[in-house]
């Protein structure tokens, strides 16, 4: 993919697992051999970690690719696996969720409590006419009821469609309509940045254009006044008064579990469909393998929102199916102060932390002294997901959060893959900062060139998955053609992930971002991720975004936006000097071809609500165009700031 830019591959640091962790790891190196000897037998063994009401007849039916059927003929109930079986085994008193509201209110919910709440919700939904096969939309803040609502749907075989609470009425309405949801579960609001943030008015507006919706179930969280219509019911009057007795019925392994719309920055959202047996098998196994989760002793915390797939797989289904104790936090990391995350780690003794590069870089920007003020000695494993993590951010995470000793697992996967696919195993892999390393046991990933040929070590191209996996998406809801077109038409017989990647000389995989984010400068392919990593490796830069802007001479030219770290002086001459230094630094690190034409120092970057940088908007700025659609931006004022600064910088 880029001859001139082999430099990211020159990363020589490598960190073997801590001896203690390796000695007691849930999964050892043998898993790779076992899976490559017989992949389907390997997955059958992982499926056996779950409780099945009826055993499958066949592990995989791939007779009509790419429409997969896993664990054909098997039957199970997902909520039973996440709740009842732990209670029945005498672990009902174990804490499932240490919940912390943004204002500081807390709830401690045991497995017995969560089971009871879920049974009541399942009965309430049934009374409202929801039956197996129906769809229920969930639009909630990060409160325990979000997990309860999902589990209650799973329990009665209704597919949930969780819509992130930050989405607009239009987005919500489109998603409700696409899935013809019968019931919407929401709240009056939640707390964000120190104040109540209403949700119900958005639902009211959305539901007005959704004839499929028969009832709206409303959790009271903030206590603020809400408008009320004939469809509305209070959760506390409906769910909390319903019977706590409910027997979970088994469902077919391929019964739909949920639809989740990908947050795509451009195209119409796709309703990614996940089903029951394969999805739970892989989310459960990867939680056990990648996080080395020991349910008896660990306190696990995934900082994602339940509205994203990370929250589905690694707050609800993965951890609960393993009987984990976890932390769930409602609010933002800087409310009431920038130490909030570390205070939570300290208070609950969090041992496994799973978060996103965007947060790690934000913490870097806020300064090392903030985490240094807390006792983080309970931590034993750190995870990252959502974007390529720059080597410097990886190192900062290990040094400043992980005491310079903890393993960092960089986990690559997608809404579509359902569960982690490429990642170190913490007790096995000597991880390299910035690399997701190798496919997990049972996963067959590769990097191929334009023609779909596997590239040799040292080469770059497109990331593909060569074999079906248990938690793979089954289709795009209501649109099999789009499913075929989007993922299976680029390369014959392979799943095309849409990401660029490289194999280093050891064959380890480095993710380079979405293929749309590759620039063509004077005939050289240069990945935005590489230039961003080079910028972030400079001590004065906390975060950077790079785009290719049309250039009369070079075809595309590199334009960079960089957020200075901590207290860096950027006024007047100091700023100009820093920009010059940074251009030279990139040139030295990656080669002169990668030297940005322009660098702009900014205070913030435009991000989607899931924390991904919206390069499309930065490209608009860099090419002096008026801004495209900004509705999926987390903070729309960011773009005004950047645009005004840009015209001054030219
Ligand atoms: C895209 C999927 C997976 C849950 C959150 C995102 C990027 C994700 C990594 C990683 C490099 C990553 C890819 C992928 N991505 N994890 N560890 N290293 N890139 O889910 O919203 O469906 O996004 O996120 O580009 O295709 P998603």
pLDDT tens column, 442-459: 999 999 999 999 999 999
pLDDT value at 613 more than 90:
no
* pLDDT value at 126 more than 50: yes
C-alpha span between 217 and 311 (Å, rounded): 21
Beta-sheet pairing, 495-503 with 509-514: antiparallel
Give the separation between CA 472 and CA 283, rounded to whole angstroms. 11
Region 305-324: mean pLDDT is: 97
- Higher local confidence (pLDDT), 257 or 170: 257
pLDDT, greater one: 195 or 639: 195
Q: Which two tokens stand for residue 470?
A: 């248990």
Q: CB of 386 closer than 6 A to ligand 1?
A: yes
Cβ pair 363, 337 in contact under 8 A:
no
Tell me what pLDDT residue 623 has: 87
Tell me if 532 CB under 6 Å of ligand 1: no
Distances in whole angstroms, Cα of residue 585 to Cα of each of 12, 225, 408, 579, 648: 19, 55, 27, 10, 24
| 412 ligand 1 Cβ < 6 A | yes
Measured CA to CA, the distance from residue 155 to residue 250 in angstroms comes to: 9
Residue minimizing CA distance to atom 13 of ligand 1? 387
58-61 vs 69-72, strand pairing mode: antiparallel
The alpha carbon of 31 and the centre of ligand 1 are apart by a number of angstroms equal to 24
Task: Give the pLDDT confidence score for residue 265 in this predicted structure.
Answer: 47
Return d(Cα 633, Cα 615) in angstroms, integer.
11
HSE-up of residue 548 (Cα within 13 Å, Cβ side): 24
Question: Does 267 score more than 60 pLDDT?
Answer: no
The binding site consists of: 192-195, 310, 386-388, 410-415, 499, 514, 522, 536, 538, 541
In the chain, the largest separation of any two C-alpha atoms, in whole Å, equals 72
Residue 629 has pLDDT above 80, yes or no: no
What is the rounded CA–CA span in Å between residue 627 and residue 616? 9
**pLDDT band of 628, cuts 50, 70, 90:** low
pLDDT at position 611, please? 81
DSSP notation for 498-516: EEEEEE-TT--EEEEEEGG
- Looking at per-residue confidence, does 4 or 178 come out higher? 178
- Please work out whether the CB of residue 437 comes within 6 Å of at least one atom of ligand 1: no
Dihedral of CA atoms 72, 77, 78, 81 in degrees, nearest 10, equals -110
Distance 604 CA to ligand 1 centre (A): 21
* Dihedrals phi, psi of 562, to nearest 5 degrees: -130, 135
pLDDT > 60? residue 27? yes
Q: Residue 3 has what pLDDT?
A: 42
Residues with Cβ < 8 Å from 637, sequence gap 6 or more?
Answer: none
Taking the C-alpha atoms of residue 409 and residue 436, their distance in angstroms, rounded to an integer, is: 7
Q: Residues 365, 351, 111, CA angle at the centre, nearest 5°? A: 120
Q: Residue range 78-97: average pLDDT?
A: 98
Closest-CA residue, ligand 1 atom 23, reads 414
Residue 647: per-residue pLDDT: 44
Cα–ligand 1 centroid distance for 541 (angstroms): 23
CA atoms within 13 A on the CB side of 585: 20
Q: Which residues is 69 bridged to in the sheet?
A: 61
Q: Is the CB of 262 under 6 A from ligand 1?
A: yes
For residue 283, pLDDT over 90 is answered with yes
- Helical H runs in 413-559? 480-483, 528-536
Q: What is the CA radius of gyration of the chain?
A: 24
Count CA within 13 A, CB hemisphere, residue 248.
Answer: 29
Question: DSSP secondary structure string, 283-317?
Answer: HHHHHHHHS---TTT-EEEE-S-TTSHHHIIIIII
Beta bridge partners of residue 461, listed in sequence order? 501
Tokens linked to 342: 């570390």
In angstroms, the CA 533 to CA 540 distance is: 13
Q: Is the pLDDT score of 632 beyond 80?
A: no
Atom of ligand 1 at shortest range from CA of 313: 4
Q: Whose CA is nearest to atom 12 of ligand 1?
A: 387
Identify which of 64, 63, 66 has the alpha carbon closest to the alpha carbon of residue 495: 66
- For tokens 């989405």, the residue is 167
The rounded Å distance from CA 625 to ligand 1 centre is 28
If DSSP codes are grouped into helix, strand and coil, which group holds residue 70?
A: strand
Q: Which of 97, 121, 119 is nearest to 109 (CA)?
A: 97
Q: What is the percent of the chain with per-residue pLDDT over 70, rounded to a whole number?
A: 95
Residue 111 Cα to ligand 1 midpoint, Å, equals 31
In the reported structure, the alpha carbon of residue 414 is separated from the centroid of ligand 1 by a whole-number distance in angstroms of 5
Q: What is the pTM of this model?
A: 0.89
Task: Assess whether the C-beta atom of 514 lies below 6 angstroms from ligand 1.
Answer: yes
Q: Binding site for Mg(2+): which residues? A: 536, 538, 541
- Rounded to an integer, what distance in angstroms lies between the CA atom of residue 164 and that of residue 415? 14
Mutation choice for ligand 1 from 290, 511, 532, CB with most ligand atoms inside 8 A? 511
Distance from residue 636's CA to the centre of ligand 1 (Å): 23
Confidence of residue 264 (pLDDT cuts 50, 70, 90): low
C-alpha 527 to ligand 1 mean position (Å): 16
Q: Is the CB of 511 under 6 A from ligand 1?
A: yes
| Fold classification of 522-646 (topology level) | GMP Synthetase; Chain A, domain 3 (3.30.300)
Pairing of strands 195-198, 189-192: antiparallel
Give pLDDT, residue 82: 99
Q: Is 589 in the pocket of ligand 1 (CB under 6 A)?
A: no
Q: Looking at residues 273-282, what average pLDDT do you find?
A: 98
- ipTM, two decimals, is 0.99
Inter-CA distances, 224 with 106, 195, 260, 570, Å: 19, 11, 29, 43
């Amino acid at each position: 993919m880029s001859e001139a830019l082999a430099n990211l591959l020159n990363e020589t640091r490598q960190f073997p697992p801590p001896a203690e962790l390796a000695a007691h790891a849930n999964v050892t190196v043998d898993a790779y051999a076992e899976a490559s000897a017989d992949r389907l037998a390997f997955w059958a063994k992982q499926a056996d970690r779950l409780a099945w009401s009826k055993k499958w007849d066949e592990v995989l039916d791939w007779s009509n690719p790419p429409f997969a059927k896993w664990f054909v003929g098997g039957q199970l109930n997902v909520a039973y696996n996440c709740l009842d079986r732990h209670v029945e085994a005498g672990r009902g008193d174990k804490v499932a969720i240490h919940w912390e509201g943004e204002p500081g209110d807390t709830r401690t919910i045991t497995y017995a409590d969560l089971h009871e709440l879920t049974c009541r919700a399942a009965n309430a939904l049934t009374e409202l006419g929801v039956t197996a096969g129906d769809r229920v939309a969930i639009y909630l803040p990060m409160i325990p009821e979000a997990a309860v609502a999902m589990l209650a749907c799973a329990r009665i075989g209704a597919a949930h469609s969780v819509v992130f609470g930050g989405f607009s009425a239009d987005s919500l309405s489109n998603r409700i309509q696409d899935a013809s949801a019968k019931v919407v579960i929401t709240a009056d609001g939640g707390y964000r940045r120190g104040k109540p943030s209403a949700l119900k008015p958005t639902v009211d507006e959305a539901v007005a254009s959704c004839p499929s919706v028969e009832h709206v179930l409303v959790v009271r969280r903030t206590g603020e006044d809400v408008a009320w219509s004939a469809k509305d019911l209070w959760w506390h009057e409906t769910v909390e008064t319903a019977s706590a007795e409910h027997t979970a019925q088994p469902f077919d392994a391929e019964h739909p579990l949920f639809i989740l719309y990908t947050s795509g920055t451009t195209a119409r959202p796709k309703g990614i469909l996940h089903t029951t047996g394969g999805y739970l098998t892989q989310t459960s196994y990867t939680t056990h393998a990648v996080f080395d989760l020991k349910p008896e002793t660990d306190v696990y915390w995934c900082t994602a929102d339940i509205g994203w797939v990370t929250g589905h797989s690694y707050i609800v289904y993965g951890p609960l199916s393993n009987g984990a104790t976890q932390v769930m936090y409602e609010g933002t990391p800087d409310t009431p102060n920038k130490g909030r995350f570390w205070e939570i780690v300290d208070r609950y003794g969090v041992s496994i932390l799973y978060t996103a590069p965007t947060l790690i870089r934000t913490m870097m920007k806020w300064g090392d002294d903030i985490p240094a003020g807390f006792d983080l000695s309970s931590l034993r494993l750190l995870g990252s997901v959502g974007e390529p993590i720059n080597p410097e951010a990886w190192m900062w995470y290990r040094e400043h959060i992980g005491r310079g000793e903890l393993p960092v697992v960089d986990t690559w996967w997608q809404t579509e893959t359902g569960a982690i696919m490429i990642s170190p195993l913490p007790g096995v892999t000597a991880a390299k900062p910035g690399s997701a390393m190798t496919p997990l046991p049972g996963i067959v990933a590769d990097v191929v060139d334009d023609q779909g040929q596997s590239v040799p070590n040292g080469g770059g191209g497109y990331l593909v998955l060569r074999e079906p996996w248990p938690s793979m998406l089954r289709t795009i809801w209501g649109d099999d053609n789009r499913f075929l077109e989007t993922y299976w038409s680029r390369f014959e017989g392979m799943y095309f992930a849409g990401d660029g990647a490289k194999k280093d000389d050891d064959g380890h995989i480095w993710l380079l971002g979405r293929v749309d984010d590759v620039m063509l400068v004077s005939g050289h392919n240069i990945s935005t991720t590489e230039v961003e990593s080079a910028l972030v490796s400079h001590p004065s830069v906390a975060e950077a975004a790079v785009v290719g802007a049309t250039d009369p001479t070079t075809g595309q030219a590199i334009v960079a936006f960089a957020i200075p770290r901590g207290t860096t002086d950027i006024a007047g001459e100091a700023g100009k000097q820093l920009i010059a230094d940074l251009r030279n630094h990139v040139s030295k690190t990656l080669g002169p071809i990668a030297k940005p034409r322009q660098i702009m120092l900014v205070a913030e970057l435009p991000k989607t609500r899931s924390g991904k940088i919206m390069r499309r908007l930065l490209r608009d700025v860099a090419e002096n165009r008026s801004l495209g659609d900004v509705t999926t931006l987390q903070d729309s004022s960011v773009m005004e700031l950047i645009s005004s600064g840009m015209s001054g910088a030219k």
